[in-house]
Structure formats: C-alpha cells, structure tokens
Amino acid sequence: MNKLIITCAISGAEVTKKEHPAIPYTIEETVEQAYLAYKAGASIIHLHVRKDDGTPTQSKIRYEKTMKAIRKKCPDVIIQPSTGGAVGMSRKTRLKPTELPIEMATLDCGTLNFGGDDIFVNTENDIKFFAKTMKEKNIFPELECFEKGHIDTVLRLYKKGFMFDPLHFSFVLGVNGGMTGEERDFHFMRESIPEHVTYSVAGIGRYEFSLAELSIKHGGHVRVGLEDNIYIEKGVRAKDNKELVEKVVEIAKRYHREIASPKEARQILGIKEFNHESIL
C-alpha cells in the first residue's frame, strides 16, 4: 500500500476567527499554520488567502506573497491554491492563482447548493475551461467531487479528451447540499472511479476522522484542516491545524500506513518534479 498523503486545508474562505481563533487571516498567521501542519506530517497545503480583516480574496499578489513566505519555512511542501475561491466569484477571478508558477491546484467538478440562496456554480464549460487552463500551464489538478454525479462528469470529460491522466480525485463529503459522509457514501464514491487513479477524502465536520480512517484503511489519502472541521473530538475544539494532522498520523499508525513526504507525494500522484526555486 502506498504511503499516506496528508493534505491540510488550513483556512478556507468561510470559517472565521469568531468560530475558531486559529483561523489565519494575515500572511504571517497563514505561514505559521502551514508550517505547523507541515511539521506534523502534511505534504500538501491547500491554500485559500484572506485579506487582513478575514475577507476571502483570489488576489494574485496576495497569493504570491503568501506562497513565497510559506516556501521560506517549508521549502519542499506542495502548495495547492484553491480555484474554488468563494461563492459568487467569477471564473476569471477564481483562476487568478493559476497565473503564478504553481504545481498543483483544485478543480471543482460540479455545482451544488450551499444552503439558503448560496449556490457554488461550476458549469460544464467552467470545468472544461479550468481543466484546459491547468493543462496548458502544467498545473496538476485535484478533482474535487462533492457527490457521485461529479465523478461521472469527470469520467465523461476524460473520455472526450477534456481531462488527462493522471487523475486524482478528492471526495469532499458532508458539505451542505452535497453527499453525506457515511461509510456507504465513501464506498459508493471509491467504487465509482477507475482502479488506476488516486483519491483523497475530505470529511466535513463530524465526518472528518471517520472518513479519514476509512480512506487510510482502503489505500486512499486524507485531507483535514480547520477549513473542514474545527473539532478534535465531539465537543472539543482543536487547538490548531497541527493537532488535526497529528490525529490522522496516529490513525495511520494503527493501519501501518507510513506518511508520505512531499517528494514521495509527488511520485505517488505523478506530479512532475519541479525545481523548488522556480515555483511559489
């Protein structure tokens, strides 16, 4: 079984300091949370950036400054900017991070309701355009799927030549408007993808660690972080992103899954080896 790749989603675009004081807003706070997660075992940092007041932004300049600062403390970590951005952002705005020299980014593979009047829009043309942009720039896409229909969309576009090998899926389960994160949901998603591809699982809220354990047990990879869940156990708030990563490392030990370094994560996923000095 491959070593375990741990991704840490350190902030997201929605969670605020009111909900958890360790949510980073400033560049300095973001670097510190990324560093703590990296030292604990995360080989990928899933990155959203904020303005200093916490407002989510896809500013190219903000991403550039933040990634350069992270790279100084975590020289080999894989930095994975979000192209999801926040609800209501345009396609052009969401793709701003891809104008920078990066090696990996998220690619959302379908539309879903976020509750109330919020709709996270990812049309088929959006998906094609994002995939084309990443292909042209040699950016490795993580294919975020919130329900089984999103997997079907990816596989259909793959057959038509809009998606390319190697495919790497991220099952984001438990989001309001998407699939729940029960064990049956995990197996349904896992059994819906080709055998040769890789996948990671992000469980939202109470599903974070139950899904992490299932993915570890069945050979998949794991995403945790304050973007997805602020609790280390029921009713007990996690101290920071580090504590969430450390819990996954402990679960992995029970299943004899070693933790992948960033270099090993690149090899497992099939990401082209970059000169770290040439990427942000």
Classify domain 6-271 at the CATH topology level.
Answer: TIM Barrel (3.20.20)
- pLDDT score for 275: 55
- pLDDT score for 272: 79
What is 77-91 written as a DSSP string? Answer: PEEEE-S--STT--H
Q: CB neighbours (10 Å) of residue 137?
A: 15
For residue 18, the number of C-alpha atoms closer than 13 Å in the C-beta half-sphere is 3
- pLDDT score for 116: 87
pTM over 0.85: yes
Euclidean distance between CA atoms 139 and 164, whole angstroms: 12
Euclidean distance between CA atoms 11 and 17, whole angstroms: 10
Please state whether 5 falls in left (phi above 0), alpha (psi between -120 and 50) or beta: beta
Residues of the chain whose pLDDT is less than 70?
Answer: 273-278, 280
163 touches 193 (CB < 8 A): no
- pLDDT score for 273: 65
231-233 and 236-237 strand pairing: antiparallel
Token pair 């599903």 is found at: 207
Supply 227's token pair. 């973007």
- pLDDT score for 86: 86
Which residues, 6 or more positions from 18, have their beta carbon under 8 angstroms from its beta carbon? none
Which residues, 6 or more positions from 79, have their beta carbon under 8 angstroms from its beta carbon? 44, 45, 47, 67, 70, 71, 102, 103, 104, 279, 280
132 touches 161 (CB < 8 A): no
80 touches 280 (CB < 8 A): no
Domain ranges of the chain: 6-271
Q: What are residue 261's phi and psi, to 5 degrees?
A: -75, 165
- pLDDT score for 269: 97
